[in-house]
């Protein structure tokens, strides 16, 4: 009984933390479907920010267009809800203009990897200190379920009605190859790990990516017979393998599974720091 009480009060505290960060005067509910993974990611982001003790004023949250990209408008931070795919380019302007700000980009698989792919690889290459949270639901949710650059081969979407003939991106490999200095993957099932991954990403100086495998049961789930939100979350549990465990598995055993945890970390120099050195060296010259 005591443990039940204790769990309840911990749960309450946790949700109170989230409530502290909703934008005052903004009308709820959100545009998201009941059970959408976006809400889980939002609370993980909030908890990570809260844990790190950032003030609300030092956070800028930037997004593009999509279901996922609506997140900043609900939260009590400076929010720039931009054009489709361009969030990282806008965010680069904010971070470079005000390097002390913590700049977080919330983006979808279509937003980040299709229309925004060029901005993504260049933000990685510059290693500018921005944290990108990429919510990968394998589909274009907002526009009603079209194929995206992460839609698996063979999967059904409204623009791949006979099965997807294209190959998909692995955003984590792409980010690492392009120069991002922190790369992690999580899922909306593994919430404590997700919170930790986001905390580590925010704490890292340099470009950080957290790919979050998430459910769009409304489109991806329905079109591909993956069941409701809960069944999709359970599938994420079944199909994910921790970095430690993945090392022990053969390629055959890894078939159909994906790795979660920190996938890459290095200490390359950060863009704004390097530019500041250049300013210090040339300041006041004629």
Partner 1 sequence: MVDTQRTLLLGNLAAVEGAIYAGMRFFAGYPITPSTEVAEGCSRELPKIGGRFIQMEDEIASIAAVVGASVSGMKAMTATSGPGFSLMQENIGYAYITETPCVVINVQRGGPSTGLPTKVSQSDTMQARWGPHGDYTAIVVAPSTVGDTVTETIRAFNLSERFRTPVVILMDEIIGHQRELISLPKPGEHQVINRVKATVPPEEFEPFQLTANGVSPMAAYGEGYRTISTGLTHDPMGFTTNEPEEIKVKLDKLRNKIMDFRSEITKLRVEMMDDAEIAFVSYGSVSRAVLLAVALARSAGVKVGLVQLYTVWPFPDNKLRDYCQKCQKIIVPELNMGQIVHEIRRVMPPDTEIHSLQRYDGEILTPMQILEKLEEVM
Ligand X SMILES: Cc1ncc(C[n+]2csc(CCOP(=O)(O)OP(=O)(O)O)c2C)c(N)n1
Binding site for ligand X (CB under 6 A): 65-68, 84, 108-111, 135, 137, 139-143, 148, 216
Q: How far is the CB of 150 from Mg ion (least distance, A)?
A: 8
Which listed range, 4-12, 171-179, 215-223, 259-267, lies at the site for ligand SF4 (CB under 6 A)? Answer: 215-223
Instruction: By CB under 6 A, tell whether 32 contacts ligand SF4.
Output: yes
How far, rounded to the nearest angstrom, does the alpha carbon of residue 164 sit from its chain's CA centroid? Answer: 24
Q: What are phi and psi of 88, to 5 degrees?
A: -65, -30
Q: How far is the CB of 286 from Mg ion (least distance, A)?
A: 52
Instruction: By CB under 8 A, tell whether 76 contacts partner 1.
Output: yes
Number of residues that bind Mg ion (CB under 5 A): 4
Q: What is the largest CA-CA distance in the chain?
A: 75
Concatenating the DSSP letter of every residue in 217-261 gives: IIIIIHHTT--SHHHHHHHHHHHEEEHHHHHHS-HHHHTT-EEEE
Rounded CA-CA distance 142/153 in Å is 21
Strand partners, 106: 63, 133
Interacting residues with partner 1 between 148 and 167 (CB under 8 A): none
Nearer to ligand X, 148 or 176 (CB): 148
> Quick check: helix, strand or coil at residue 66?
coil
Rounded CA-CA distance 219/167 in Å is 20
Q: What are phi and psi of 261, to 5 degrees?
A: 125, -170
Instruction: By CB under 6 A, tell whether 140 contacts ligand SF4.
Output: no
Q: Out of 40, 46, 48, 67, which residue is the one contacting ligand SF4 (CB under 6 A)?
A: 67
End-to-end Cα spacing for the chain:
75
Write the binding mask 83 to 102 for ligand SF4: x where contact by CB under 6 A, - elsewhere: --------------------
Binding site for partner 1 (CB under 8 A): 23-27, 56-58, 60, 62, 65, 72-73, 76-83, 86, 89-98, 100-101, 118-119, 122, 275, 278-279, 281-286
Binding positions for ligand SF4, rule: CB under 6 A = 32-33, 36, 38, 67, 137, 141-142, 216-219
């Amino acid at each position: 009984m005591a443990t039940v009480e204790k769990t309840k009060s911990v749960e309450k505290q946790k949700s109170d933390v989230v409530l502290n960060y909703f934008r005052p005067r903004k009308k709820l509910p959100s545009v998201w479907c009941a059970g959408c993974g976006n809400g889980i990611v939002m609370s993980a982001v909030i908890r990570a920010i809260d844990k790190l003790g950032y003030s609300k004023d030092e956070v800028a949250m930037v997004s593009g267009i999509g279901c996922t990209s609506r997140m900043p408008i609900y939260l009590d931070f400076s929010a720039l809800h931009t054009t489709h795919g361009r969030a990282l380019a806008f965010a680069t302007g904010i971070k470079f203009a005000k390097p002390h700000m913590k700049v977080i980009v919330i983006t979808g698989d279509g937003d980040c990897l299709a229309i925004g792919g060029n901005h993504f690889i260049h933000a990685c290459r510059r290693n500018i200190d921005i944290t990108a949270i990429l919510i990968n639901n394998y589909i274009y949710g907002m526009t009603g379920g079209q194929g995206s650059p992460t839609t698996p081969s063979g999967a059904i979407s409204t623009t791949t009605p006979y099965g997807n003939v294209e190959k998909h991106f692995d955003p984590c490999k792409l980010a690492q190859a392009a120069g991002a200095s922190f790369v992690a993957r999580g899922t909306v099932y593994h919430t404590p790990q997700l919170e930790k991954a986001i905390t580590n990403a925010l704490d890292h100086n340099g470009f950080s990516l957290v790919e979050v495998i998430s459910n769009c049961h409304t489109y991806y789930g329905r079109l591909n017979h993956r069941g409701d939100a809960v069944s999709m979350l359970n599938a994420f549990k079944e199909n994910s393998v921790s970095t430690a465990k993945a090392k022990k598995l053969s390629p055959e055993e890894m078939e159909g599974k994906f790795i979660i945890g920190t996938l890459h970390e290095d200490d390359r120099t950060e863009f704004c720091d390097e530019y500041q050195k250049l300013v210090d060296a040339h300041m006041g010259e004629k």
